[in-house]
Structure formats: structure tokens, C-alpha cells
Structure 1
Amino acid sequence: MTSVLKNWLINIIIITIVLMTVAGYMSSFKLDGVGAAIEASIILSLLNAIIKPLLIILTLPVTVLTFGLFLLVINALTLMLTAQFMGDAFQISSFGSAILASIVISILNLLIQNFIVKPLSKK
């Protein structure tokens, strides 16, 4: 297995766990089980690889003016787009919920990557 595919699969697992965690704590963020979380994490990772870079380039002036905080809006948009693709299996009640969820997802992803994945990959 190539390292790119291995890293992508690890990222899918992490995003799945993070999405399920957020869905467990936020009533405005709903997932219909583990299968929906896996599907959502695959769609979200594809959107982050394809759509998100385009959005970042198109909104670069706004992102610079807001000192990077506009990236939270872009993250929320990709989450809401993922929910649109998923239909009833993944629901976010409002844009504010999507922004809050994107903040929590970013923090949890950062913590998992830095304190679990990186130390394990050094061994």
C-alpha cells in the first residue's frame, strides 16, 4: 500500500471518529450511524481535496483581510455541501452550527494528528 493511500485511509478514520464525536455532542449535527459517518468522511475528504483549494484561491483577499478566519467559513461550507450530498443521513441544522462544528472538528483533528498519529508514525 502506498504511503499516500495509507495516509488517506488514516485521515478517513480520523474524520469518521471526529464526525461521530461532534454528532454525539451537538444536537444540531446529526449522523445516521457509523456507515453515514464513513460516507460523510469520504465525501468531505474529496471536497477538501478538490473544492476547498479553489474556494481558498477565490476568497484569498477576504481570507487575508480576516487574518485567516474566513477559512472557518470555507470549512463550514464544505461541511454543509457534504450534508447536501448525503441527504437525510447527515444533517446540519444551520450555518452557525456548521461553523461551530467546523471549529470543533478542526481542533479535534489537530489534537488527534499531533498527539496520536505523529508519535505513532515515528516509531
Structure 2
Amino acid sequence: MNLLIRLLVTAVVAYFLAYVLPGIHFDGFGAAIIFAIVLGILNLIVTPILKVLGFPLTIITLGLFSLVINAMVILIADYFVDSMNVDGFLWAFIFSIALSLITSFVSSALTRGDN
């Protein structure tokens, strides 16, 4: 059940950010749900591989390269989800930061009530 709530939170936040950020486009809320599922799968499979390959750059940049890895994962998700469009790397970068921050805040607010 927790996984379903996290996917729904990610979809809602991504759909909201599409209205705020002009470089992110979804065809509808269904596209945001598909994006959340694809992003979850990519975070499970692709992100660890990219983090291992980018580890030296992450060390050199004191962890900031992990933000670039997150943006690359957003662009990969854009490639797989036809009903989503990201207008470039900069928008993917901004979107990934905003999505991470807002999703973390909302998830922590939702789980705080469970204790």
C-alpha cells in the first residue's frame, strides 16, 4: 500500500509541476501516473548503474553530479513515456530537483501522521 501511495504522490506532484514549469508537458493525469511507474522502475534499475559509473565525478563534485544523474533519469523516462515531453536537459534538471524536494516533503507529511 505504501508503494501505491508513493506512486500516486509522485504522479500528482509531477502533474502539478507540469503546470508550473513551462518546459514539462503531460497529455493528462494518466500520463503522469505512467511516468511515476516508469520513474520508479528506472530508479530501481538504471539509477544504481549510473551512480556506480558516475561515482568518481560524484566524489570530485562533492555529490552534485547526483543531480545530473537524476536529470538523466528524467530524460530516459521522457524517452519511454510518449505522452510526456521534456524540452531539454535544463528543464529535466529543474524538474528533477523540484520533484525530489516536493515529493519528499509531501511523503514525510503523510507518513508523519501514521506514527
1:17, CA displacement in angstroms?
1.0
% identical equivalent positions: 31
Extract unaligned runs of 5+ from structure 1: 1-5
Give, in whole Å, the separation in 2 of the partners of 1:11 and 1:23: 18
Aligned residues: 115
Extract unaligned runs of 5+ from structure 2: none
Structure 2 residue aligned with 1:24: 19
Q: Deviations over 1:73-106 (max 9, x none)?
A: 111111111111012x100001011001111111
TM (norm. structure 1) is 0.89
- Where has structure 1 moved over 6 Å in runs of 4 or more? none
Q: Give secondary structure in 2 for the equivalent of 1:121.
A: coil
Structure 1 stretch 7-16 or stretch 44-53: which is displaced more? 7-16
Structure 1 residue aligned with 2:56: 61
Give the aligned CA root-mean-square deviation in angstroms: 1.0
TM (norm. structure 2) is 0.95
RCO higher in 1 or 2 (8 Å CA, sep ≥ 6)? 2
